[in-house]
Amino acid sequence: MVTLTFLAHWLHVAAALVWMGVQVSVALLIFPALATRPGSDARPLLGALAARIPRLMQVSGLLVIILGLVRGTVLGPIRTWSALGSRYALLMGLSLVLMFALIGYGQRTGPTLMAAIWDGEAVRPGAHAAMRRHAVVVLATLALITGCMVAMRFGV
Where do contacts with ligand HEM occur on this chain (CB under 6 A)?
12-13, 16, 19-20, 64-65, 68-69, 71-72, 76, 92, 95-96, 99, 142, 145-146, 149, 152-153
In this complex, which beta carbon is closest to ligand HEM, that of residue 12 or of residue 134?
12
Cβ at position 23, least distance to ligand HEM in Å:
8
Contact 42, 116 (CB under 8 A): no
Q: How far is CA 76 from the centre of its chain?
A: 23
In this complex, which beta carbon is closest to ligand HEM, that of residue 42 or of residue 92?
92
Cβ at position 47, least distance to ligand HEM in Å:
26
Cβ at position 125, least distance to ligand HEM in Å:
33
Q: CA angle at residue 60 from 59 to 63, to 5 degrees?
A: 90
Burial of 135 (0-12, 13-18, 19+ CB in 10 A): middle
In this complex, which beta carbon is closest to ligand HEM, that of residue 71 or of residue 134?
71
Distance CA 103, CA 129 (A): 21
